[in-house]
Structures are given as structure tokens and as C-alpha cells.
């Protein structure tokens, strides 16, 4: 199949970042990121379009259609619940595929109230309360249409409820479920078959996203819930359900979403690439599930990407305590950067005062072919004397004194090993 152009919008959400990690290396799909705000997507997606209108702006659809025509977009992969529904409702106007479940499904999943009404007779859903019918506190409140954990709250009194509803009037109030919380990551193919369902425990949660998660041992009760939901609601591609144990020891539905989960990378680590499966299925390919059999745990933290406004053609790099750490370990982050330099046609020069058989050591470390030139100097010599004049370069060395001499003489950027992270795309 010819390579398909896929517009991921908005590209800075956790979902969009997972889409990039999952499908960014595919030879079948070229990912183009688009966003309404300056966010992390701009640092991740090499092909990026910024300054689009927000989802509630009437200009968005028109501008997306222009991008579809100009960039020959084959499909848009929306990464937020509200955007999924909006684009699905306007799929014909936009003139390309919108990756996801049918619009009726996205509307159900967008609203907690519609979700509960649809599934109430199929699986356990929390008891809902009207404002004046609450028998005991605490209760749980959340916006009917929301994203992540924004606006969710445990309410302990009528006074707290009044304050909450003033801020979030279109919310639902349910019984409070005290048990552990789980996500069931699912994939349904174009025939409506649930090919994959796996539950993971949300061990630690920040902003509604599992930042530490592991698969549960006993999957049967969770898979049963996934099958029942799949029989009632018509999904296509990746989707998930969140469930929680109640006081009675039963599992209750919190929500469903017609998209992949923020930490579905746990499944990807075992070979279940939900984003890529969804893309192939959307273009009517038959897909199957193959997974590896091992335990895996994900722990997430904030990731950093950098844009440095520097221009250089040559990289000078040190050997001891820079490229090789503790005289025995390769600095893999630095090597990653050096290969990035090769991709970008930068020259790499090893400038070292190493005592020993340098070339043989490089050969043993399988690093010899990395360098365009190797310069060895004596311990009492100054590296600044071996830098070529009139070149745009950067200098990487663990020695502050060497970096200072280079900086003072050439006024060019210098980096210690721990700064190399900033140079990686």
C-alpha cells in the first residue's frame, strides 16, 4: 500500500504522543502533527502544523479541510474525546477518513450520562443521585463531558456539593466507589470482533492518567465486562473502559472512551500496538493479535524535549568520562546523539588525551566507525589549540577547564555530558 498521510490532532495530548511512539517508525504511515496551542507535540512531531483554531471555533473544520487538500491527508487521527466526536460528525465534509469508532459510539462515550444509560442493563454502573436525593456522603461528582480528571471530586457534604455545582453545573453525582481502579484496554476490528482486552491496575494516577500501571493477574472478570460492552456498543479500533470496585466487591463502570488509553503503552510493550492496529484496521486490512509472554510495569514521569537555537557543522567530543564512563561503559545517550549527527550530515571529531590504545578500545566498543577524524594529544596540551578555525562547531567534554578555554577562545557552545540530553531531537 502507498504510504498514507495521517494528521494527528491535537498532537500534544498524551494520547497523541503515544500515537507517535506507536506508529512513528511505520513505513506505511507518515504522521503529521497539528495543534491549536504551543505544546509538547511541536517538540515531538517532525512534520508539524501549528496555530489551528480550537475545537469550539467554527473556523476549525474549514482549516482542517484546507490542510486535508493541501497535504493530501488520507486520514485524521483525533486524540481527544470531544474532537473525535466533532470530526466524526463532519467526516464527509472533511473529505478523508476519521480514525475511530462510528459517530453514534463516540457520542455515547463522550457523555458519562449517555454511557451509563446505554449500559445500565448490561453491566454494573454506579448509582446516580439527584441533588436532593442523596442519602449519605461521600459521593463522587464529575462533569458529564470531561477530559482526564478535570472537575472530578469526592464530595463530603451538602455544602461542598453546592460549591462544586456552582463551578460544574452540568455534572453527574454518583455513589462513591472506594475500591481499586482499573483500565481495560481493548481492540475491536472492522467486523466488530473484540480481538484484545487486557486489564491493568491504575497504581498511581496524576491528572487522570495512570503514571504507574501493571497488568492484573486474574483477567477473566474484566474480559467479561469488555465483551458485554462490545456487544452493546459498536466500537472500531482501540478503546478502553475504566472500572472500579465498590463496597460490595463488584466491579462498576466509571467510563468508556472510543480511543486508546493514555497508558496503553503497557500493551505495546508486550507487542499489542493499539494505535498501529487501529490505523491498519481503518484502511480495511485484516489484523491479528500476537503478544509476548512476560511481566511488564510502566512508570511514567514528565518527559523533556528541547529546541536549541544553535547552528553547527562539526561536533568535537571527548573520550574519557564522556564517551566512555567509569573506563568501562559506553555513554549510550551520547552515542545516540552522535548517530543523530550522522543522520544530519554533521562531522564528528574525537579529540582525546587518552592514555592507551585508543583505536583498539574504540574497536572493542564497536565505536571506531563513528568518527570522521580522531585527534590524540598529550596530557599537557590544550584542546583549544586543535580546534579548526572558522568552523561552526560544538564541543562536548567533561572537563570544565577545557570547556572554558574553548568558550573563551571561540565563543562557541560547549556542553558537559549531562547536557547532551538537550541536543537530542
> Is residue 70 scored above 90 in pLDDT?
yes
* CATH number of the structural domain spanning residue 363: 3.40.50.1000
Are residues 218 and 154 part of one domain?
Answer: no
Are residues 188 and 160 part of one domain?
Answer: no
Angle made by CA atoms 161, 164, 168, in degrees to the nearest 5 = 130
- Do the beta carbons of residue 279 and residue 261 sit within 8 Å? no
pLDDT digits (tens, 9 = 90+) for 228-244: 999 999 999 999 999 99
- Decide the pairing of beta strands 237-245 and 181-188: antiparallel
Are residues 373 and 350 part of one domain?
Answer: yes
Distances (CA, A) of 326 to 318, 331, 397: 14, 10, 15
pLDDT of residue 309: 93
Distance CA 119, CA 290 (A): 30
The arithmetic mean of pLDDT across residues 266-275, rounded, is 95
The arithmetic mean of pLDDT across residues 310-329, rounded, is 95
In a domain, 309, yes or no: no
Mean pLDDT of the chain: 95
Are residues 272 and 222 part of one domain?
Answer: yes
In a domain, 40, yes or no: yes
The arithmetic mean of pLDDT across residues 64-85, rounded, is 97
pLDDT of residue 106: 98
Are residues 289 and 341 part of one domain?
Answer: no
In a domain, 409, yes or no: yes
Distance CA 424, CA 51 (A): 25
> pTM for the whole thing?
0.89
In a domain, 119, yes or no: no
The arithmetic mean of pLDDT across residues 182-211, rounded, is 93
Q: Is 14 in a helix, a strand, or coil?
A: helix
Are residues 288 and 198 part of one domain?
Answer: yes
pLDDT digits (tens, 9 = 90+) for 296-317: 999 988 888 899 999 999 999 9
Taken in order 272, 273, 277, 280, the sign of the CA dihedral is negative
The arithmetic mean of pLDDT across residues 369-389, rounded, is 95
Residue 21: exposed, middle, or buried by beta-carbon count in 10 A (0-12, 13-18, 19+)?
middle
pLDDT of residue 262: 83
> Is residue 277 scored above 80 in pLDDT?
yes
In a domain, 122, yes or no: no
407 pLDDT tier (thresholds 50, 70, 90): very high
* CATH number of the structural domain spanning residue 241: 3.30.470.20
In a domain, 358, yes or no: yes
138 pLDDT tier (thresholds 50, 70, 90): very high
pLDDT of residue 206: 84
* CATH number of the structural domain spanning residue 150: 3.30.1490
Distance CA 240, CA 185 (A): 5
pLDDT digits (tens, 9 = 90+) for 208-231: 788 899 999 999 999 999 999 999
Domain count, the chain: 4
pLDDT of residue 274: 96
The arithmetic mean of pLDDT across residues 239-261, rounded, is 96
* CATH number of the structural domain spanning residue 69: 3.40.50.20
> Is residue 147 scored above 90 in pLDDT?
no
pLDDT digits (tens, 9 = 90+) for 91-129: 999 999 999 999 999 999 999 999 999 999 999 999 999
pLDDT of residue 150: 86
Are residues 328 and 357 part of one domain?
Answer: yes
pLDDT of residue 301: 86
In a domain, 120, yes or no: no
Domain that holds residue 42: 4-99
Are residues 232 and 197 part of one domain?
Answer: yes
Are residues 226 and 190 part of one domain?
Answer: yes
In a domain, 307, yes or no: no
Are residues 294 and 188 part of one domain?
Answer: yes
Amino acid at each position: 500500500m502507498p504510504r498514507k498521510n495521517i494528521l494527528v490532532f491535537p498532537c500534544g495530548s498524551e494520547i497523541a504522543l503515544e500515537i507517535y511512539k506507536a506508529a512513528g517508525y511505520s513505513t506505511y504511515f507518515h504522521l503529521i502533527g497539528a495543534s491549536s496551542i504551543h505544546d509538547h507535540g511541536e517538540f515531538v512531531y517532525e512534520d508539524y502544523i501549528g496555530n489551528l483554531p480550537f475545537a469550539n471555533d467554527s473556523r476549525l473544520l474549514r482549516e482542517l479541510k484546507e490542510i486535508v487538500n493541501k497535504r493530501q491527508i488520507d486520514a485524521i487521527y483525533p486524540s481527544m474525546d470531544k474532537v473525535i466526536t466533532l470530526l466524526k460528525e463532519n467526516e464527509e465534509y472533511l473529505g478523508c477518513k476519521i480514525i475511530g469508532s462510528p459517530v453514534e459510539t463516540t457520542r455515547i462515550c463522550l457523555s458519562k450520562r449517555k454511557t451509563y444509560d446505554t449500559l445500565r442493563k448490561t453491566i454494573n454502573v454506579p448509582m446516580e443521585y439527584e441533588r436532593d436525593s442523596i442519602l449519605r456522603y461521600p459521593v463522587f461528582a464529575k462533569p458529564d463531558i470531561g477530559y482526564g480528571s478535570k472537575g472530578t471530586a469526592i464530595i463530603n457534604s451538602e455544602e461542598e456539593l453546592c460549591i462544586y455545582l456552582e463551578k460544574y453545573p452540568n455534572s453527574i453525582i454518583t455513589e462513591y466507589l472506594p475500591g481499586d481502579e482499573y483500565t481495560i484496554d481493548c481492540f475491536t476490528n472492522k467486523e466488530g470482533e473484540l480481538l484484545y482486552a487486557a486489564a491493568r491496575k491504575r497504581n498511581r494516577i496524576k491528572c487522570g492518567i495512570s503514571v504507574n500501571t501493571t497488568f492484573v493477574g486474574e483477567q477473566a472478570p474484566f474480559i467479561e465486562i469488555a465483551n458485554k460492552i462490545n456487544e452493546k456498543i459498536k466500537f472500531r479500533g482501540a478503546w478502553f473502559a475504566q472500572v472500579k470496585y465498590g463496597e460490595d466487591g463488584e466491579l462498576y463502570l466509571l467510563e468508556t472512551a472510543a480511543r486508546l488509553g493514555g497508558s496503553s503503552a503497557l500493551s505495546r510493550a508486550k507487542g499489542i500496538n493499539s494505535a498501529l492496529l487501529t490505523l491498519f484496521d481503518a484502511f480495511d486490512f485484516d489484523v491479528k493479535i500476537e503478544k509476548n509472554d512476560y511481566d511488564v510495569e510502566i512508570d511514567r514521569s514528565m518527559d523533556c524535549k528541547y529546541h536549541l537555537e544553535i547552528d553547527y557543522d562539526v561536533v568535537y567530543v571527548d573520550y574519557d568520562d564522556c564517551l566512555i564512563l567509569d573506563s568501562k561503559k559506553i555513554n549510550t545517550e551520547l552515542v545516540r546523539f552522535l548517530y543523530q549527527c550522522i543522520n544530519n550530515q554533521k562531522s564528528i571529531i574525537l579529540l582525546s588525551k587518552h592514555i592507551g590504545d585508543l583505536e583498539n578500545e574504540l574497536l572493542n566498543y564497536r565505536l571506531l566507525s563513528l568518527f570522521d577524524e580522531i585527534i590524540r594529544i598529550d596530557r599537557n596540551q590544550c584542546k583549544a589549540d586543535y580546534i579548526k578555525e572558522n568552523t561552526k562547531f560544538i564541543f562536548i567534554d567533561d572537563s570544565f577547564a577545557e570547556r572554558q578555554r574553548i568558550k573563551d577562545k571561540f565563543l562557541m557552545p560547549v556542553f558537559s555530558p549531562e547536557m547532551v540530553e538537550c541536543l537530542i531531537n
